[in-house]
């Protein structure tokens, strides 16, 4: 793999190394001056890049150990695979990203959220990390889950789980933009997971994922009678079952089926988090720029995320609204637009997607920024895992 999934990042390393055992992995880490782990390649930023050994954990032995209300799993397992294993045990995660194709560690390291009210990082009890000197430590600090690969190679993750549950998904079309803004709290609190896809022309489509057995909210608009894809023009058959038909949590919470290419394929992505208290103001500010957003956007999704304790989660310490853009694959024009959006709404961006917020501004938006920088120095004093991305935002190791 010489590029990421979207093709907008060409990796600096000539090849991906795929160790098959813990000893192989340790030898790679100890024998390299620079290492970074590549998950499924679904990040759109250079967060996973390195000039040294680019490591895939896909060939490592799978770990799946259930203990009470927790499960210990291998970091390189995909969420689709983990979900099937959990369902067989009568268990569930509280959330699933929109696409189940990504790895457990990759989703956690970037605070990817998806369905439900918390990111997957919010379920982390501990992470097992192989450090640059070959030692292995188990970390429970609130700074450890969303680490962007900077603390070492995450080999296993222990997650909270709950009993399996059923979900029914219904899509509501022709919802007015003004209705979405006026009834924002009721709409986004109306189901277990709610996504509003807005066209920036005055309309919205709501994907409501209702946990079976919980009270139902009467959403505005009308229920779709045929499967709907979040991106206009794409086949709805690639999406998880809609139409209010109940099914297992892992077959409804993602937007996309695991056996199909998620989203569009040819795209770029950005996601911005703003405090829920100023979400309407931020959305109105973006709406005023609809004429410059519309030519570049394929889909825009709005979701809510509850406050989290993970230091570098974009939802750290505040209930947030996430505004996600799926852009056309025009890197130059998208990067020209992003500073205007960021100036208008002052967001915390998703770490694995495109953004241009300067390091100093980001540092000011995260109260635990310096604490995380100290955590990086503690666990990676030689900067083995400090790639260009981490150095840009947190400085060099020495």
Nearest in space to 65 (alpha carbons), one of 89, 40, 99, 48? 89
Nearest in space to 87 (alpha carbons), one of 114, 57, 108, 64? 64
Same domain as 346, residue 252: yes
Say what the pLDDT of residue 261 is.
60
φ/ψ of residue 207, rounded to 5: -100, 110
User: Is residue 4 in a domain?
Assistant: no
Q: Is 244 left (phi over 0), alpha (psi -120 to 50) or beta?
A: left
Q: How far apart are CA 114 and CA 99, in angstroms?
A: 8
| CA 360, chain centre distance (Å) | 23
For residue 361, what is the enclosing H or E element? helix 359-365
Task: Supply the pTM of this predicted model.
Answer: 0.95
Share of the chain above pLDDT 90, in %: 83
Determine contact, residues 163/258, Cβ cutoff 8 Å. no
* Residue where a domain stops, chosen among 114, 141, 163: 163
Please say whether the dihedral angle defined by the alpha carbons of residues 156, 158, 163 and 164, taken in this order, is positive or negative: negative
Same domain as 256, residue 172: yes
Residue range 163-188: mean pLDDT, rounded: 96
Q: What is the DSSP letter of 61?
A: P
* Residue where a domain stops, chosen among 117, 138, 163: 163
Same domain as 188, residue 332: yes
Could you please report the per-residue DSSP string of 199-233?
A: -SSSEEEEEEEEETTSPPP--SSEE-SS---SSTT
User: Is residue 54 in a domain?
Assistant: no
Same domain as 174, residue 128: no
Same domain as 236, residue 97: no
Q: How far apart are CA 211 and CA 213, in angstroms?
A: 6
User: Is residue 384 in a domain?
Assistant: no
Same domain as 92, residue 157: yes
User: Is residue 15 in a domain?
Assistant: no
User: Is residue 277 in a domain?
Assistant: yes
Two tokens, residue 33: 């001056």
Per-residue pLDDT tens for 206-265?
Answer: 999 999 999 989 999 999 999 999 988 888 888 999 999 999 999 999 998 876 665 556
Q: How far apart are CA 382 and CA 205, in angstroms?
A: 49
User: Is residue 44 in a domain?
Assistant: no
User: Is residue 104 in a domain?
Assistant: yes
Residue range 61-76: mean pLDDT, rounded: 97
**By residue range, what is the domain housing residue 108?**
64-163
Two tokens, residue 289: 């720029």
Say what the pLDDT of residue 194 is.
96
Same domain as 208, residue 315: yes
User: Is residue 202 in a domain?
Assistant: yes
Two tokens, residue 50: 């390195």
CATH number at residue 68: 3.30.465.10
* Residue where a domain stops, chosen among 163, 190, 212: 163
pLDDT at 320 over 70: yes
Q: Where are the alpha helices (DSSP H) in 146-289?
A: 177-182, 184-188, 279-287
Determine contact, residues 242/235, Cβ cutoff 8 Å. no
Same domain as 224, residue 133: no
**Number of folded domains that form the chain:** 2
Same domain as 232, residue 155: no
Same domain as 106, residue 235: no
Beta-sheet pairing, 153-160 with 124-130: antiparallel
Two tokens, residue 125: 């009890």
Say what the pLDDT of residue 262 is.
58
For residue 194, what is the enclosing H or E element? strand 193-198
pLDDT at 59 over 60: yes
Two tokens, residue 38: 């590549």
Residue with the larger pLDDT of the pair 235 and 288: 288
CATH number at residue 219: 3.30.70.2520
Q: How far apart are CA 38 and CA 14, in angstroms?
A: 13
Per-residue pLDDT tens for 7-23?
Answer: 888 899 877 899 999 99
Two tokens, residue 51: 């000039």
Q: How far apart are CA 319 and CA 337, in angstroms?
A: 26
- The widest CA-to-CA distance across the chain, in whole angstroms, is 60
Same domain as 156, residue 68: yes
Determine contact, residues 323/283, Cβ cutoff 8 Å. yes
Same domain as 227, residue 200: yes
């Amino acid at each position: 793999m010489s590029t990421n999934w979207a093709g907008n990042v060409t990796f600096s390393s000539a090849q991906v190394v795929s160790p098959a055992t813990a000893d192989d992995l340790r030898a790679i880490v100890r024998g390299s001056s620079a290492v970074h782990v590549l998950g499924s390649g679904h990040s759109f930023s250079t967060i996973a890049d390195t000039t040294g050994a680019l490591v895939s954990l896909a060939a490592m032995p799978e770990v799946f150990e259930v203990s009470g209300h927790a499960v210990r799993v291998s970091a390189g397992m995909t969420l689709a695979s983990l979900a099937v294993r959990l369902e067989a045990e009568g268990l569930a995660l509280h959330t699933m990203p929109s696409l189940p194709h990504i790895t457990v560690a990759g989703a956690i390291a970037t605070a990817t959220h998806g369905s439900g009210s918390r990111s997957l990082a919010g379920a982390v009890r501990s992470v097992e990390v192989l450090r640059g000197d070959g030692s292995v430590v188990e970390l429970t600090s609130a700074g450890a889950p969303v680490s962007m690969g900077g603390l070492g190679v995450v080999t296993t993750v222990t997650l909270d789980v709950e009993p399996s549950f059923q979900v029914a998904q219904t899509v509501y079309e022709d919802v007015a933009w003004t209705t979405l803004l006026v009834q924002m709290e009721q709409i986004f609190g109306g189901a277990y997971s709610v996504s509003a896809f807005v066209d920036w022309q005055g309309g919205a489509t709501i994907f409501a994922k209702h946990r079976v057995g919980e009270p139902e909210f009467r959403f505005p608009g009308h229920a779709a009678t045929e499967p709907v894809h979040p991106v206009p023009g794409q086949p709805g058959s690639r999406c998880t079952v809609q139409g209010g038909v109940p099914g297992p949590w892992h077959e409804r919470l993602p937007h996309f089926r695991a056996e199909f290419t998620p989203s569009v394929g040819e795209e770029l992505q950005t996601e911005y988090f703003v405090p829920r208290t100023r979400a309407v103001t931020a959305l109105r500010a973006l709406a005023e720029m609809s004429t410059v957003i519309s030519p570049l956007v394929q889909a825009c999704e709005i979701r809510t995320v509850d406050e989290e304790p993970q230091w570098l989660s974009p939802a750290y310490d505040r209930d947030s609204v996430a505004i996600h853009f799926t852009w056309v694959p025009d890197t130059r024009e998208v990067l020209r637009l992003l500073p205007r959006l960021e100036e208008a709404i002052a967001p915390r961006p998703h770490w694995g997607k495109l953004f241009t917020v300067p390091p100093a501004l980001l540092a000011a938006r995260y109260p635990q920024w310096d604490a995380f920088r100290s955590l990086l120095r503690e666990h990676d004093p030689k900067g083995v895992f400090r790639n260009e991305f981490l150095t840009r935002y947190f400085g060099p190791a020495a």
